[in-house]
Amino acid sequence: FIPHLSWIDPNTFQPLVPPRRVAFGDNSFVEAIGTGTMTLTTKTSEIKLSNVLVVPDFKVSLISVSKLAKYGLYSVF
């Protein structure tokens, strides 16, 4: 079972062979096993996120605030 894999459009899923390491500031890492596109639904619109990494070890989903800013988007916490 891979958490959140159902959020990825199955027509866009591409396995990563070999898996890609995702590093953290504390020098730890996890492995992404694939990429794909998902749709993020907000109160006012839908945003397609491409090249989303599928990381089985994550129990939650993360989004890069710096990537949002790069495309003129923002988040409110």
How far apart are alpha carbons 67 and 15 in whole angstroms? Answer: 22
pTM (2 d.p.):
0.79
**pLDDT tens readout for residues 4-56:** 788 899 999 999 999 999 998 899 999 999 999 999 888 999 989 999 999 99
pLDDT the model gives residue 5: 85
- The domain ranges of the chain are 5-70
| pLDDT for residue 6 | 87
C-alpha dihedral, 47 to 50 to 9 to 57, nearest 10°: -110
Per-residue model confidence (pLDDT) at position 10: 93
